[in-house]
Chain A
Amino acid sequence: MVAFLPILIILIIVAALTTTFMVSSGKIKKSLVPAKAGGWMLIAYSSLLIVAIVVSLFIPGETISTESVDEQDLEQTVEDMHEAVFNAELDDVDPDLILQEWSFDYEKDAVGLDLLSANPDQFSIMVLIEKTNELDDDLKAFYIHSPMYMDGIPIDVETTPEVSILDEEVRVVTPEEQQIRYNVYDHGLSLEPFKEGNDSPFHSSFSMAVLYLQVPEDLEITADISDYEIVR
């Protein structure tokens, strides 16, 4: 009931405003403003709206379409990426999804992982390790990120983690969280017929972030088993 209180108050304000300008008391109609003012107010308001229509034509900014994002295509892209990295087929990953590459000289017999994040309980990058005989005394790292959409708006993923070698560990530091804010003007009415082909405008695409490490075949991994997954 408390949740409805603000709505109730607003409706009371609207009711009060309506009746204030058009009051009937018994046989006498009273109004706080002269009746003719209503006509002039409507003309002024309509003129303002017409000016706004013209001005809005010159407002710069993109038009996004909920129809432009093919969710099936998007799911397929994430699935293909998932399949490629888990099958250790890095060549099959869309090059556009590899945001950064690192290469390190590494001559030691074992390597650990030091995964750091601003929020220690939430290290959300999946670490996959591929042991390969194509490498000898070096390590390679790739940061792969699936395309990201929020309510049909493409989000340009640009930030990447910091990856470095420190003693016998690969240190991965997740990027500082960036706040991105979009303002979207949606002229469509929130009535069901106007949501055609768009069950819910509120959705974000599932995104996947992977740090893909290629290490020599005989390198021992000393990290906690829960921090990574070996792919073949």
Chain B
Amino acid sequence: MYLTEVKTSDIIGKQFRYKFKSYIGVFSSLVIIQLLGLLFSLSGSRFSSSSAVGYQVDVQYYTVDIVMIFTIFWGFMSAMLLTTKAYREDDFAFITNRFSSNLSTIAFLAVISLIGSLTAVLSGFLLKVVVYLVESEPLLSLNRGGIASTYSLEILGAFVVVFLFATLGYAAGMIIQLHRLFIVVLPAIFLGGSVWVATFDVPIDLFHFYFQEANFLLFLLKMVGTAGVLCAVAMLIANRLEVKR
């Protein structure tokens, strides 16, 4: 019996607020990386060309694909950095355990992934304005129809992808914290696995499984489900890490 009953949800909430204030520096890199992505996007993301009698038609596409790729990588790197000892031990300012610490970090990752996705998708408008100002040819806008014309769904789609990679970075970071050797072993497994799949034509096409899924709901399920598994893996590993001395 204590005078003050502490709820886990309150602790997680406090830790989340603390982390959001303390790690707000992640947004400096987000902004710079997205602006860098926009700069690269100015030369066009895709190009197609066709010719007919008397005509050579070139179509230059401007998309936020590069910004998205950079944002995904930013999510991965930021999450990985959060697993380093200095960040993990920040939580001990509170009455905490591994569970609440991990949950608050995952909530933080979810929020920064959402902010990153939102700005990545909306950065397309900035790209459109800049292309209009710097290019002499008229700018056409492509309407693909279907769900692609709904920004909220696009943001949701971008969010699950960024969050998936953030959790992947978080899990990878935790594995590296187990032993420094994994800094070498993990990339080796990844690169070796990629070469193995490519060389021996192994029917394990993860890219196809995740990114060629045409059904939006299934796509969301695969992303969120895998992110959940990665979070669980990260939490299990975190429990095996040494306690604060």
Contacts and interface: CB of A to CB of B under 8 A. Distances in A.
Partners in one complex: yes
A22 B81 contact: yes
Interface string B117-149: 001011111111101100101111111111111
A177 B55 CA distance: 5
A52 B119 CA distance: 12
Contacts, number: 305
B54 A182 contact: no
Interface residues of A, number: 88
Interface string A176-195: 11111111111111111111
A63 B141 contact: yes
A49 B118 CA distance: 10
A211 to B, nearest CB: 10
Contact of A63 (B60, B74, B140): B140
A48 interface: yes
B28 interface: yes
Interface stretch (B45-53, B99-107, B234-242): B45-53
Contacts of B52: 124, 148, 155, 157, 207, 209
Nearest to B78: A18
A125 interface: yes
Contacts of A179: 56, 58
A65 B148 CA distance: 12
Nearest to B87: A24
Interface residues of B, number: 85
Contacts of B33: 14, 17-18
Contacts of A192: 211-214, 219
A185 B212 CA distance: 23
Given A42-B24, A49-B123, A124-B52, 17 more contacts: A18-B26, A21-B25, A42-B119, A49-B119, A49-B122, A52-B126, A56-B129, A61-B132, A61-B139, A64-B142, A148-B52, A183-B62, A185-B127, A186-B63, A186-B142, A190-B68, A195-B144
Interface of A: 10-11, 13-15, 17-29, 31, 33, 35-39, 41-42, 44-46, 48-49, 52-53, 55-56, 59-67, 124-125, 145, 148, 150-153, 155, 157, 159-161, 174-198, 201-202, 204, 207, 209
